[in-house]
Structure 1
Amino acid sequence: MTSVSKFQPNYAQAFDLLATLVAVVRTDGVVVFANAALEDVMGVSRRTIEGSALAGYFSETQSFQNALQGAQTNAFATMRYDAHLRRPLQDPMPVHVIVAPTDVAGEVLVELLPLEQQTRQDREERLIDQAQANKELIRNLAHEIKNPLGGIRGAAQLLQMEVESKDLIEYTQVIIHEADRLQVLVDRLLAPHRRPHVVGDVNIHEVCERVRSLILAEFPKGLRMVRDYDTSIPEFRGDREQLIQAVLNIVHNAAQALAERVAEGDAEIVLRTRINRQVTFGKQRYRLALELHVIDNGPGIPEEIKDRLFFPLVSGRDGGSGLGLNLAQTFVQQHHGLIECDSVPGRTDFKILIPLP
């Protein structure tokens, strides 16, 4: 029984970097190579998988046997179908199976895409694409607003110097005040693109403690902030001030959403840190990633804005600017990370994911 693939070692190493589950199978169905992602999902070593019949890991084997036969006879370039992958001591996992011949005679490439993971990756890709589109839109829009805004303010100042009527002066002052207010908004929109990325060693718990102290200073009564830290998380390279601002924006939003519970004295925000292993996000697979959860017991995010939560100028609170979460997502993405949100009435969980070295 052969347990060594004809693939070059560096080619096999490339498969180990993939987020998807990959196996190289002989046309008789025996696995000659299993990548790290498949090993992790199956919960057994690749030595156990290699040398065994891959069909035995499917709840229904006939479709896989047909795919192997088709690959052997060159009946198709690629075959796709849905199946259930059996795993020791775990529930079967629904997967999308892709079977394709390789350049090596007698070997077939089998790629397994967990359907849940595929859905999650699609959602993450949409978030990343939306954030990039938003960033370009904001930058262009802010610049287009800024130039005429300065002209409007300057004209109002000149007009104010010429008029003598008190009523007309009040009107010019309104124009100047509103122009200044819009200038502040434009500056906030452009702030993430102007500020340089200052990289240094970051301890995520120092970031959390800084945010915690700022929030408790603003909400000294009625709000309980719970620490749930994994102290084994190592330091990583990043912009400490950007991360403080990102976490602060999320926690501050949560505290404001808890206004009713703060008044009743039972508002709670949990700061939870964990390490996630072999995690995939942003189309890449990482050996280790930081998970920082900000969990509150508030009313939840309104259903009508859930899909637009990280869009600029979208807010679920009266008087909100709608810039805080957009800015937080921008700062986290500058650390190659991502922010996700899961919200139901009584529990909202913002999860910050940042790759670790």
Structure 2
Amino acid sequence: MVADNLHYELFLNSIRTALVLIDENFEISFVNDAALNLLETGKSQMKERPFNDFFLPDSFNSEQFVQALLTGEEFSESSVQLCFTDGRSSMVDINANIVKANNKRQALIEIIPVEKQRKISQETQQYAQQLAARELIRGLAHEIKNPLGGIRGAAQLLEKELPNPEHKEFTEMIISQSDRLRSLVDKLLGPNSLPQKSEFNIHKIIDKVGVLISADVSFSIKIERDYDPSIPDIFADSDMLEQAILNISRNASQALQSVNIEHPIITFKTRIERKCVIKGVRHALCAKISIVDNGPGIPHEIRDTLFYPMVSSKANGNGLGLSIAQTLTDHHNGKIDVESFPGYTDFSLYIPLNYKKPTYNQKDIES
């Protein structure tokens, strides 16, 4: 009997649909892995809270479930906007099936995110566009670097031949501007080294970023931490991930500084993500690192090109921070997901925990 129960549990955990079994008091007697992903919690936390406690009252019709349990009538709802107490929201279809379990009537709830497949397709398309844009920029950058070297060298030779020392300021200007353009081109090319992998605690890296952000801003900003202590050490390049998280966090702090918010907050949150699809590859477990701010949100006109180099909503921004963060995350077979609306922006990095050594094309790492 124990073996049968284990078999059924393994089967239910392999299903991508979120399944939750509740009674009339909304106490949970079973939850599968897909539901834990949806609720961003663990089994131990599920036992301590009733199911409806995870949602805002206006988005979860508790009375409908109570009535279904009393009458035994099943129901379905399409395109329900579930709003979670942690600020997230998700459009889902809900099916409530009435079953008898543990000698009482219970509701087996199926929660099906209707945006998931669309989002996976959109991510694949965006990734292909980003790769194409990156290749175009790399090609242009190399074409620019070659004549820049010639211009700089010619200016140095000319400087030696000038009879009037006062004219050297013009050759010095040519040299300094050539160096400035060379530096910009190097940044456009992005990181040019392979990851140096080791095991480390991701929360220590995030804490360092939090300290840097607090010291870097000229206004009062609150840093909050919401960590999942069950996340194991990550086998990755700590410097690369620190830089990626720092770039996103600096963007968040700059966005908060650009508007007059009474209580600016950046929240660092970590969770375990199960059965995560990244660029068409399904990973059993991923570390999810979220940087959340209560700023103005991302302007609609740049959302589709957010990770392209030179795209920025800031007047003096070069648009390289997010592009570099994306490249550093790509080096770890990960992805960056974004959810944003006025008052809420969430950048989430997904890093596979079943990390395998990626293959690199030499032209991708050459400067």
Q: Quickly name the TM-score band, shorter chain normalised.
A: 0.5 to 0.7
Partner in structure 1 of residue 137 of structure 2: 138
Deviation at 1:313, TM superposition (A): 1.1
Deviation at 1:220, TM superposition (A): 5.9
CA contact (8 A) 1:223 1:265 kept: no
Deviation at 1:120, TM superposition (A): 1.0
CA contact (8 A) 1:238 1:335 kept: yes
Task: Please say if 1:38 is aligned against 2:37.
Answer: no
Aligned pair partner of 1:200 in 195, 198, 201: 198
| Matches of 2:348 and 2:117, distance apart in 1 | 19
Q: Give CA deviations for 1:302-356 in whole Å, capped at 9, x if unaligned.
A: 1111110001111111121111101101111111110011111221111111122
CA contact (8 A) 2:222 2:263 kept: yes
Q: State the one-letter code of the partner of 2:216.
A: E
Deviation at 1:168, TM superposition (A): 4.4
Partner in structure 2 of residue 268 of structure 1: 265
Aligned counterparts, 1:72-91, within 5 A:
86=95, 88=97, 89=107
Partner in structure 1 of residue 300 of structure 2: 303
Deviation at 1:133, TM superposition (A): 2.0
Deviation at 1:85, TM superposition (A): 8.2
Task: Please say if 1:293 is aligned against 2:270.
Answer: no
Aligned pair partner of 1:315 in 312, 317, 321: 312
| Matches of 1:179 and 1:332, distance apart in 2 | 31
CA contact (8 A) 2:19 2:111 kept: no
Q: Is the deviation greater in 252-261 or in 327-336?
A: 252-261
In structure 2, do the counterparts of structure 1 residues 157 and 58 end up closer, same or farther at CA, with 3 Å as the change threshold? Answer: farther
Partner in structure 1 of residue 123 of structure 2: 124
| Matches of 1:277 and 1:181, distance apart in 2 | 45
Q: SS where residue 303 of structure 2 aligns?
A: helix
Root mean square deviation of aligned Cα: 3.0
Partner in structure 1 of residue 337 of structure 2: 340
| Matches of 2:249 and 2:299, distance apart in 1 | 17
CA contact (8 A) 1:296 1:347 kept: yes
Q: State the one-letter code of the partner of 2:265.
A: E
CA contact (8 A) 1:314 1:322 kept: yes
TM-score by length of 2: 0.66
Aligned pair partner of 1:283 in 240, 258, 280: 280
Aligned pair partner of 1:229 in 227, 230, 236: 227
| Matches of 1:37 and 1:120, distance apart in 2 | 21
Q: Give CA deviations for 1:120-156 in whole Å, capped at 9, x if unaligned.
A: 1111112321232233223222211111111111112
Q: State the one-letter code of the partner of 2:139.
A: N
Deviation at 1:119, TM superposition (A): 0.3
CA contact (8 A) 1:273 1:293 kept: yes
In structure 2, do the counterparts of structure 1 residues 224 and 142 end up closer, same or farther at CA, with 3 Å as the change threshold? Answer: same
Structure showing greater radius of gyration is 1
| Matches of 1:331 and 1:218, distance apart in 2 | 22
| Matches of 2:326 and 2:224, distance apart in 1 | 23
CA contact (8 A) 1:199 1:238 kept: yes
Task: List structure 1 segments (4+ residues) > 6 angstroms apart after TM superposition.
Answer: 90-94
| Matches of 2:200 and 2:130, distance apart in 1 | 24
Deviation at 1:264, TM superposition (A): 6.4
| Matches of 1:177 and 1:195, distance apart in 2 | 26
